[in-house]
């Protein structure tokens, strides 16, 4: 299983857990400009993986108010929902 969530995250799974990774771009060296996946975390349940992804994305954002945070959470949640629907 490999589900792309927006253009920033990838959700995969093995027989034991769900794995959330963030897409990043190599900035230096011979592979500069190339893409790699950086581990966000391992989660035993899908709901925990999505919650962890949302939590990280909010922490890394520049929201300045509770209203902005609510909109940001809603947007990321909708991206997750859409990606999972498309994968099924």
- The one-digit pLDDT tens for each residue of the chain (88 residues) are 899 998 899 999 999 999 999 999 988 888 888 899 999 999 999 999 999 999 989 988 999 999 999 999 999 999 998 998 888 7
Residues 6 or more apart in contact with residue 38 via CB below 8 angstroms: 21, 22, 23, 24
CA distance 87 to 3: 6
Backbone angles phi, psi at 8, to 5 degrees: -110, -30
Look up the pTM and report it: 0.82
Segment (H or E) for 25: strand 18-25
């Amino acid at each position: 299983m490999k589900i792309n969530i927006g253009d920033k995250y990838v959700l995969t799974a093995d027989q034991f857990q769900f794995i959330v990774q963030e897409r990043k771009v190599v900035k230096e060296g011979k592979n500069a400009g190339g893409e790699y996946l950086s581990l966000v975390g391992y989660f035993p349940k899908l709901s925990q993986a999505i919650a962890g992804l949302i939590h990280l994305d909010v922490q890394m954002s520049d929201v300045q108010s509770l209203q902005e945070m609510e909109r940001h959470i809603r947007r990321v949640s909708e991206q997750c929902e859409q990606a999972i629907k498309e994968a099924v």
